[in-house]
Amino acid sequence: MPERPVAPARPRRAETREPRSEGQWALGQREPLNPNEVFKQADDGLNVRERIETVYAREGFASISPEDLRGRMRWWGLYTQRRPGIEGGRTATIAPEDLDDEYFMLRVRVDGGALTTEQLRVIADISIDFGRDTADITDRENIQFHWIRVEDVPEIWRRLEGVGLSTTEACGDTPRVVLGSPVSGVSAQEVLNPEPAIQEICRRFIGDPTLSNLPRKFKTSIAWLADAAPEINDVSFVGVEHPEHGPGFDLLVGGALSTNPRLAERLGVWVPLDEVPDVWHGVIQIFRDYGYRRLRHRARLKFLVADWGTEKFRDVLETEYLHRSLLDGPAAPLPDQPLDHIGVHDQIDGNKYVGLAPIAGRVSGTVLKSVADSAQKAGSGRIRLTPYQKLVVLDVRPEAVDALVEEVSAVGLEANPSPWRRSTMACTGIEFCKLAIVETKARAHTLVADLEERLDHIELERPLSIHINGCPNSCARIQTADIGLKGQIVTNDAGEQVEGFQVHLGGGLGLDAGFGRKLRSHKVSSAELGDYVVRVTENFVKQHEPGERFAQW
């Protein structure tokens, strides 16, 4: 029997359509696809500096154009603050101009977390003179001032730049501050100090207009010890010994948190120190050229890495950007608990370094000035900020340690803090952030005091980390905390809508790298937060096996 003729298959609907543009420049997709891409194409964010200096600082807040105010000023570290008195949870219905205060948050980038005492003094004076004595240490080793007036910005830049600091690309769709190890150059565990690579990247590429219009922010970590959160940066270099070639760096790409968290993945290569800047440049150019620019929430490198896979990513890096092959390399070792460097530790040169804990990064100009004074008295000229919102005084003479520890304790910085003070972090929250739903910094203060009192009897093998976010973004890295707290409005036992948190349990970095479990039933009001953490901690202490970590429990 003859076969029935087969009608040619009709192309399915999806096959007839042109694939939707994701705004990938390398594919010729230059049409701006969202309002951010439109304003970035219209004028480079870096160009706003001139307008700030020549117009806005002279004519005041009202003279700032909306696109500069809510867009380009970020390229110079400036965000408008939340207008005081606006409740959390209803900001989506408020017009931007009603949400904006006339004051700014100003972020100072501190690449590698490295400051001299002279630089710290300048930061302290700016805080006192222009920022109502505010200064927060962020978990990206930045300093953030609040209450800044646009009229004062040129003078602030003059002072910062006079000591080699800047706010260039501290925010915006740019290469953000480069995280480094707080103990680079002084740690006995470090085989190769990567500071020269951090400095070269900053010198060559920060403020470079060819890299100032990225799809979104681009975060970097470069540290021999894996103590600068390499798992959750867009690009990370972590120290590793190659069996034949010696010390160099393992390269990871595509890590980030926020609403679709993803851990960075190894490309399986070994990068010698002097090649780190060029390899970094290759990775950021891939992001610029191939990164997705249609939807803001998909415009991070992690989405490209997820779609391409590491094999293709490495191939594009080698063939299109570096024009050579990279050497295969082994995986870098990871620490079994966060290296926060709190306390008094030996340096390789016989001096000591002293890690100090404020609560959740909140300090002030006055406190920072005291730290600079005490550090200098102890023989030190160097301070480091840490990715845990803490600070470390380097190069302390051994005989001067006790006096330093006592002096800084008097201004609220502890070298031997409780586990709760040591491991609690908080983002900016409703006090200043326009996206916030709940209070965070003040909450961290009351929580730490509460836990210090109520859990004083408990001995933990290692501190439990508590990270507090004011909204579903993840500026305080809630997914990688033992107890992560995501700010939201919750219903309390009396049926009222109140400030509270969705809990994520069991996240971590290092050997425990992974994201906490979001337990739907674990929602807690701010008022009950202390009770909740006490309950979880006591249960963990009772139930865990010896040596079992919270993330494994």
| Distance of closest approach, residue 443 Cβ to ligand SF4, in angstroms | 12
Return the number of the residue (396 or 433) whose C-beta is nearest ligand SF4.
433
Angle at 487 between CA 446 and CA 491, to 5 degrees: 95
> Which residues of this chain interact with ligand SF4, rule CB under 6 A?
427-429, 433, 435-436, 469-471, 473, 475
| Amino acid letter, 227 | D
Closer to ligand SF4 at the Cβ: 193 or 428? 428
Provide, rounded to whole angstroms, the least separation between the CB of residue 437 and ligand SF4. Answer: 7
Nearest approach in angstroms of CB 93 to ligand SF4 is 17
Closest distance between ligand SF4 and the C-beta of residue 148, in Å?
Answer: 17
Shortest distance (Å) from residue 484 CB to ligand SF4: 11
314 vs 434, beta carbon nearer ligand SF4: 434
CB-nearer residue toward ligand SF4: 267 or 437? 437
Residue nearest to ligand SF4 (CB): 470
Other C-beta atoms within 10 Å of 55: how many?
15
Residue 379, amino acid: G
Nearest distance from C-beta of residue 280 to ligand SF4, angstroms: 25
Tokens of 524: 């807690």
Q: How far is the CB of 82 from ligand SF4 (least distance, A)?
A: 9
Instruction: Closer to ligand SF4 by CB, 341 or 467: give it.
Output: 467
Q: Name residue, tokens 């980038």.
A: 109
Helix 401-409 to helix 365-377 angle (10° resolution) is: 170
Task: Pick between residue 106 and residue 433 the one whose CB is nearest to ligand SF4.
Answer: 433
Residue (109 or 369) nearer to ligand SF4, CB: 109
Cα angle: 142, vertex 258, 70; to 5 degrees: 65
Other Cβ atoms less than 10 A from the Cβ of 341: the count is 22
Least distance from ligand SF4 to the Cβ atom of residue 55, Å: 29
Q: What is the DSSP letter of 133?
A: T
Residue 350 — left, alpha, or beta (φ > 0 → left; ψ -120 to 50 → alpha)?
left
Are 232 and 263 a contacting pair, CB within 8 Å? yes
Report CA-CA distances (Å) from 508 to 280, 310, 338. 26, 23, 8
Cα–Cα distances in angstroms (integers) from residue 335 to residues 2, 123, 224, 541, in the given order: 71, 32, 12, 23
Residue 424 contacts residue 339 (beta carbons within 8 Å): no
Q: Identify the CA nearest to 148 among candidates 57, 226, 233, 234.
A: 57
**3-state secondary structure (DSSP) of residue 362:** strand
Sequence-separated (6 or more) residues with CB below 8 Å from residue 272: 245, 248, 249
Query: Considering the complex, what minimum distance in angstroms separates the CB of residue 429 from ligand SF4?
Result: 5
Q: Beta-strand (E) ranges in 357-496? A: 362-363, 382-385, 391-396, 424-426, 466-469, 483-491
Of residues 183 and 475, the one with the C-beta less far from ligand SF4: 475
User: Measured from the CB atom, is 293 or 443 closer to ligand SF4?
Assistant: 443
Question: Smaller CB distance to ligand SF4: residue 79 or 270?
Answer: 79
In the complex with ligand SF4, which residue's Cβ is closer, 448 or 478? Answer: 478
Report in angstroms how near the CB of residue 171 gets to ligand SF4 at its nearest: 12
Distance CA 320, CA 286 (A): 9
Q: Measured from the CB of residue 430, what is the shortest distance to ligand SF4 in angstroms?
A: 7
Q: Which residues contact 90 (CB under 8 A, 6 or more apart)?
A: none
Q: How far is the CB of 486 from ligand SF4 (least distance, A)?
A: 8
Q: For 74, how many CA atoms within 13 A lie in the half-sphere containing its CB?
A: 20
- Show the beta-strand stretches assigned E in 160-275: 175-180, 218-223, 235-242, 246-253, 265-271
First to last CA, the chain: 68
- CB nearer ligand SF4, residue 372 or residue 444: 444
Q: Which two tokens stand for residue 520?
A: 């739907």
**Measured over all CA atoms, what is the biggest interatomic distance in the chain, rounded to whole angstroms?**
102
3-state secondary structure of 215: coil
